[in-house]
Amino acid sequence: MNGTGSFDSLTAGQDWIATPDVLLSPDGPRHRWSASIVGGTFSTVGPTERVREQHPGLDEMDLTGQLMMPGFVDTHQHLTQVFAKVLIGAQPAQIWKRMWLPLYGAMDPHDAYLAAKWTALESLRGGFTTIVTAGERDPLKVEPIEQAIGESGVRCVMAHDFSDLAGGPPSAEPADPEAVRECVRQAGDYLSRPSQNSRLIRAVTCASHQSASLELIAALSRLSAEASVVFQIHSNEHTPEVEWCLDTYGRRPIELLHDIGALGPQALLAHATLVSSTEVGLLQDSGTGVSYNPVASAWKGNAVAPALEYANRGIPFGLGTDATRNDGFRLMDAAETAQRLTFGMRTIDWSSGDGRLWLHAATRNGAAAACLGEVTGSIAEGLRADFLVVGCEEPEVLPSWDLEWELVRHYDRTNLRAVFVDGEATVIDGRPVGWDLDRFMDEAVEAGRRAARNADMTLIGRDPRGLDPA
């Protein structure tokens, strides 16, 4: 395979050397650099001659005209919303009550399997080698979803969502201690359950302050810290949520999490858009991470997270799709654009960060925020070989002057040639490796239409039962 080769010629588990035109290292673009992949890990990364000297027996693939860069990390993804993704257009905020819960309830376990595999495929096609799920509550759907993740080849933080509430939202009254203990027991069992998929990282979550008691939120955050896995919760996303916390507890959402000891490096807050200066300080002091979801803010939010302030304060944050549009390049563009429009313009800040800030948020910093900084996010020795091969000679991206800015503003998924996880190709030219895309989509699209029509969703100006099946 020395010289120019085909991705199809690589066999599963093969050790090899990748030699691109440009290799995007943690410190920036490097020419005449290569990376050796041994046992699914980056073994040696550096000047090509040094890599060849250290691995004289390995086959080498010449990636002329290609860029090798880290795979994107989606720090906030919902695996089962793909069946109705377009229906969120023009819908007011907090659609989880009117759309997502009814849709989830209308799906059987096989529907959940199909939706999760579909979402994972879209993610890989958009350059995401790692996705962090927001949480699955139905125990009957967890195993099929894990199966789908395994078949797709993506790396996944698979979160199991827990609630100790039998009825409506919690109150300021003490929680039922038996219900809390039972949820913690089930969460511990889930985290300790063995898995045949080395790319699956189990985690636990509470959906929001309105879905679990403060006692359970605190307990699961502690459990996650002990297990060295991420704990997620939606926080400060919408006006009704913030007002509900104030009405119920007399505290804002992040203040509540601080009061109960749920903040910390293990915590990853989804959205964190409507934040006070006090809450920003609590995030900074505790080392809590944030998933910045700019497209979700544009499509269905009340505000945009102050990501530039998070960066300046040293608050770890990554980028998340929130099941909107699974294109990592366009997500970086949206992240920069949202900051420029909401914060940069009013202060005449022409940079609103720089290309490297948003590139790192989509890769290495996102991995760190999800407690995966020692696993993935960079092309660096010792990390898993999760990377993208991207065409860098198309007219839209030439002439090249500043690659990191160009990746944010000019590249998109059409430039993507191949996606690798653990050094193995999962998608080549938009097609999954090892399974029949066309047959799968025939079944998945029909299941999606059926589930959406059967769900008792409340939509503004649209009835899913009247959608044209064509």
pLDDT of residue 1: 45
Are 221 and 264 in contact by the 8 Å Cβ rule? The answer is: yes
Are 241 and 256 in contact by the 8 Å Cβ rule? The answer is: no
Domains (range + CATH), the chain:
7-70+380-432 (2.30.40.10), 72-369 (3.20.20.140)
Those residues whose C-beta lies under 8 Å from the C-beta of residue 338, and which sit 6 or more positions away, are 294, 297, 298, 304, 307
Spell out, as residue ranges, where the chain has pLDDT lower than 50.
1-4, 469-470
List phi, psi (to 5°) of 258. -65, -45
Sign of the CA dihedral with 9 first, then 14, 16, and 22 last: positive
Alpha-carbon distance of 328 to 336, in angstroms, equals 13
Complete edge-to-edge strand list for the sheet that includes strand 155-161: 72-77, 128-133, 155-161, 200-205, 231-235, 267-271, 289-292, 317-319
Are 152 and 117 in contact by the 8 Å Cβ rule? The answer is: yes
Are 93 and 300 in contact by the 8 Å Cβ rule? The answer is: yes
Residue 416's CB: how many other CB atoms inside 10 A?
Answer: 23
pLDDT of residue 467: 58
Those residues whose C-beta lies under 8 Å from the C-beta of residue 64, and which sit 6 or more positions away, are 4, 21
Convert the pLDDT of each residue in 31-51 to its tens digit: 999 999 999 999 999 999 999
Alpha-carbon distance of 253 to 174, in angstroms, equals 18
Sign of the CA dihedral with 150 first, then 74, 437, and 80 last: positive
Those residues whose C-beta lies under 8 Å from the C-beta of residue 457, and which sit 6 or more positions away, are 84, 87, 98, 99, 102, 103, 464
122: tokens are 């879209």
> Which DSSP string corresponds to 276-307?
-HHHHHHHHHHT-EEEE-HHHHHHH-S----H
Alpha-carbon distance of 453 to 100, in angstroms, equals 13
**Cis bond leading into 20, ω under 30°?**
no
For residue 332, give the nearest of 306, 293, 301 by alpha carbon.
293
Q: How far is CA 337 from the centre of its chain?
A: 19
pLDDT of residue 351: 79
Alpha-carbon distance of 316 to 91, in angstroms, equals 30
> Which DSSP string corresponds to 347-366?
GT-SSSS-HHHHHHHHTHHH
Q: 130 exposed, middle or buried (CB, 10 Å; 0-12, 13-18, 19+)?
A: buried
pLDDT of residue 127: 98
69: tokens are 């860069």
Convert the pLDDT of each residue in 59-89 to its tens digit: 999 999 999 999 999 999 999 999 988 888 8
Is 262 strand, coil or helix? coil
List phi, psi (to 5°) of 31. -95, 150
To 5 degrees, how large is the angle CA 264–CA 270–CA 274?
95
pLDDT of residue 465: 53
107: tokens are 């799906």
Alpha-carbon distance of 168 to 445, in angstroms, equals 33
Is 138 strand, coil or helix? coil
Those residues whose C-beta lies under 8 Å from the C-beta of residue 418, and which sit 6 or more positions away, are 7, 388, 389, 425, 427, 428, 429
